[in-house]
Amino acid sequence: MALFNKSKLNPNELSFWGHIDALRGHLFRIVVAVLIIGTVLFCYPEFLFDTVVFGPIRSDFVTYRAFCKLSHLLDLGEQLCFGHYTFKLQSLGLSDQFTNHMWIAFVGGVIIGSPYILFELFRFIKPALTDKEKNASVAFIFTSTLLFLFGVCFSYFVIVPLSVNFLGDYKVSSMIENNFTMDSYISFVTTLSFAAGIVFELPILVYFLTKFGLVTPDFMRKYRKHALVVILIVSGIITPSPDVTSQMLVAFPLYLLYEISIFVSAYVIKKQTT
């Protein structure tokens, strides 16, 4: 690639080590931005933990109130009314609370700073792009950021509460009391949130796989039923009750994402043939 080759015809083009030095500058600015945002979040522990991190285990969490209202609107009684947990979180290690405080502040810095992170990465590869590719890259950054944030929000407001409802009250014996460590809860929430953010990047992944000839819209349409079965199984695992309504609340966005990916793949094929 021209990005890593020193051209004698263009004295302004950087050498390999010049690009490494430029990348270091972009990474440095990314780290500084994440640290600044993380430091600000670190200064507000009550908001960061009581309101945000521990929100899904509070009975007045917005998701639980919305589900309960929906349950009454659909004449389902109290089937979708949940969020009243009896388990407690505990800290067992001397430094657990401090290290988790730092970790959550850092995670928050990455999530909030994700638009700037992608912008800095775009600035690094920008010199190697054509004008047409630069315009497409702007749309790519915007779309990628939006999908990632949608995924994180979907996990936080839907998947996490439903999963906590299922796992928090799950018991193999009445002789066992559910008391979980703060570490396990925070790890569970952050892992699900980042995983959902990455899953919501599916249309972007399909775009590149189609460009490389590894995926076609016909292939995705052929295995649509298989994908739907997988989505329904995953949705059934994390929903709070066996009724179809709660399962569909999770399954529908995931299936919609798959259909959007088919459309993206078809769009890429169409552009390649014209």
Do residues 121 and 177 share a domain?
yes
- pLDDT grade, residue 11 (50/70/90)? very low
Do residues 167 and 69 share a domain?
yes
Report if residue 4 sits inside a domain.
no
- pLDDT grade, residue 39 (50/70/90)? very high
Q: What residues make up the domain containing 62? A: 15-200
- pLDDT grade, residue 19 (50/70/90)? low
Do residues 209 and 94 share a domain?
no
On the question of pLDDT at 90 being above 80, the answer is yes
Whose tokens are 């990474």? That residue is 27
| Triad 262, 265, 268: Cα angle to 5° | 150
Average pLDDT, the chain: 83
Report if residue 6 sits inside a domain.
no
Report if residue 106 sits inside a domain.
yes
Q: What is the pLDDT of residue 28?
A: 92
Single out the residue in 200, 223, 243 at which a domain terminates: 200
Q: Which residues of 238-259 are buried (b: 16+ CB within 10 A; e: fewer)?
A: bbbbeeeebbebbbebbbebbe
Single out the residue in 200, 222, 252 at which a domain terminates: 200
Structure tokens at 9: 């015809």
Do residues 237 and 140 share a domain?
no
Total structural domains within the chain: 2
Q: What is the pLDDT of residue 3?
A: 44
Report if residue 5 sits inside a domain.
no
- pLDDT grade, residue 238 (50/70/90)? low
Average pLDDT rounded to a whole number, residues 203-210: 87
Do residues 158 and 264 share a domain?
no
What is this structure's pTM? 0.79
Single out the residue in 165, 200, 235 at which a domain terminates: 200
Q: Give strand pairing partners of 181.
A: 90
Whose tokens are 């970790």? That residue is 103
Which DSSP helix (H) or strand (E) runs through 181?
strand 179-181
Average pLDDT rounded to a whole number, residues 135-140: 75
